[in-house]
Structure 1
Amino acid sequence: MLAPLLGAVLAVAPAVGASAAGDATASPSASASAGPQLPLTPSSVDPESGTCAKVSPTQVGATPWAQLSLDVAQANKYTRGDGVLVGVVDTGVAPQAAGLAGRVHAAGAAAQDCVGHGTFLAGVIAASAVPGSGFAGVAPGARVVAERGTDQWGRPSAELVAQGIEAAVAAGAKVVDVSAALSADTAPLRAALEHAAAKDVLVVAPAAPDTAPESSSGQSSEPPPASYWPAAADGVVSVLDVDINGAHPDGVPQPVHADLAAPGDGITGIGPKGTGNYVANGASVAAAFVAGTAALVRAHLPHLTAAQTATRLEATAAHASVPLLDPSAALSTVLPTAAPSAAPDPALHLPEPAPTSRLVPRAWALAGACLLLGVLTAGAMTVARLRTSRRRTGRNPA
């Protein structure tokens, strides 16, 4: 879907990449100097500053490039995700955030979002349009359950992520979006993922962190791990972020493997306060687009299991080194089945074939009846011709 819409997308694309991670603001227009400046939503904030997300005074009326490239409007003609509950395991979600009011279940610490990142991802997944803004989430009919996977400053831990996944599953989520990319797994985290799979819940996670870890010298403190968790676990859909050209942004950790790619560079969204727009970057944002699409699939094709939903998302993605998410194709494509269903179609009733031992006598009986009928018919016709001949000649035939 990226190529056909590239011309329209470029007209409203944000000139923001991973390099803007340290900037206070970022432009949503094609030129950094030509458009309004939007506050950047980081994945975490410095605890020493104690600075929480500020209110954005700016709304962007144009449809963001990510929604255009994914053709979200077309996907929403099939479904808006109504009836599906999506868990967001991140920094929390503000229940009254623009476009989410009335559809967020958040209790305790999960209802407080100082960083704004959890609210941003929840908006990408499920926010509805608000007056004056061209932004809307992928599944604006879905509901959100917020769980903390970090401390109040956005610093994740395996223990908090595991607890967040467990809580979201217990709340009835059918899709769980996790923002963390941890360098190692733990037994509780593996147990939480296994529990989610047993409950038919699809977990989506970033294949790499949003930014590379740095030391005090500004360089990478250590070689990156080969895999990040929970994305590396079996059954979890791992997601890589791409820019407007479909390429992974420079300077961002490159994972060894990812199942899907989705927009994650200069993404427009919402914040925990006000109706203004914000911008964010990274694989965690890309994972939110996949989680929203998974909610659409689970609403439109409710008979599919979590594993089948993941297979459909990957099978219908656009061909690339990492397949590019395609929401409309995920909802509309007819995929070949691996084997016929063992259960017969209840609307189709076919008679059972008769055993061979019964077919043979019946065949002989039918042939004999046909032969007898032919003999009788021929005899009757012969007698009729003879009688006609006798009347004409006056002779009595032998």
Structure 2
Amino acid sequence: MAQDFSWLHRGVTEIFPQPHDDSEAESLEHRLTNANRPLRIKLGIDPTGADIHLGHSIPVRKLRAFQDAGHTAVLIIGDFTARIGDPTGKSDVRRQLTEADVAENAQTYLDQVRPILDFDTPGRLEVRYNSEWLSHLNLGKTLELLSTMTVGQMLAKEGFAERYKKENPIFLHEFLYPLMQGYDSVAVDADVELGGTDQKFNIAVGRDLQRHFGLKPQFGLLLPILIGTDGVQKMSKSLGNYVALGEHPSQKYQKLQGVPDNLLSQYFELLTNLPLDSLPEKPRDRQEFLAWEIVRQYHGEQAANEAKEAARSGGKEGAVPEFSLAAIAQFPVKLTYLLGATGLCKSASEGKRKIQEGGVRLDGDKVTDVDATFAAPGDLYGKVLQVGKKNFVRFVP
């Protein structure tokens, strides 16, 4: 009886190579069916920021699908590569992060993907840090990596080509990024690598390096880039069209129930496991069902029901408590003072300690600066201040 690979193809843009390609004689389905061991499925994430949004969750969800099919998820935390930053899609050089920045971001990433991945079943998950092998590369090995690719090949990479054409600087350390990410596939002996459609070049480099080092080349599985809640541009925190995994359930629900009709099918396909032929027919019902289902995934059924009721009652019952900034006598004001004034902390000093412990978020973003200050009330209107997992206030005039 033929295996059902609907879970494999759901939401996938491309799997490469295909059997008709010159150098490959098998398909990924063939390898999945005939391997006498669990395949090793690689997903690399660079902790270049503190938070993950729903767009980032798509390859993580596919990684979970492989886990559920009996394979081993290899989640690589790019604590070494993050110090360079992936130049893909960037028109300028990225700021290099410190080891402390990366370590802090990495922990928050793991906390946020925990509701998605199976961390408990033995043999289903390896969490690896690529500093384990990249920090020990000597100059000889680095030169060997560099010798596998020409400058012309590197400049064919979309972001580099555009920057070169515009005469924007490209620094030599940026050329190392695709090679280091590719070497991750060598280090963990990956059978499959997951990534967004913008990662095809980097995944292909991994295949070339595996071949160079005598390993069987991995398959690449590419997933779409999620369009944001504005229905126009890709989901991005800088564009404000995102839904963060760390947001309050009511915030998530309110954002998702406004997803444009033309995006609902894609959101259901990429962000849920629901059968696509049994969804509500009316667009409004589909919006509410999508919002409920995604909140349920991350916060549980009770929180989803409460968020739904809060939205239907005009955002009052069960919604995020509000705090009027009219109660603050003078601006500028420190965040530590606000933590005490709102009652989220007993005092400003406790607020400072909570920030140092990583327990404070503003609109889903972890706050790390104990001296964070806001010049005017308008800087805070509508934003949600959070301490821990359950304590929230929304700032209003």
TM-score bracket relative to the smaller structure: under 0.3
Query: Bigger radius of gyration, 1 or 2?
Result: 1
TM-score, normalised to structure 1's length?
A: 0.25
Greater fraction of residues in helix: 2
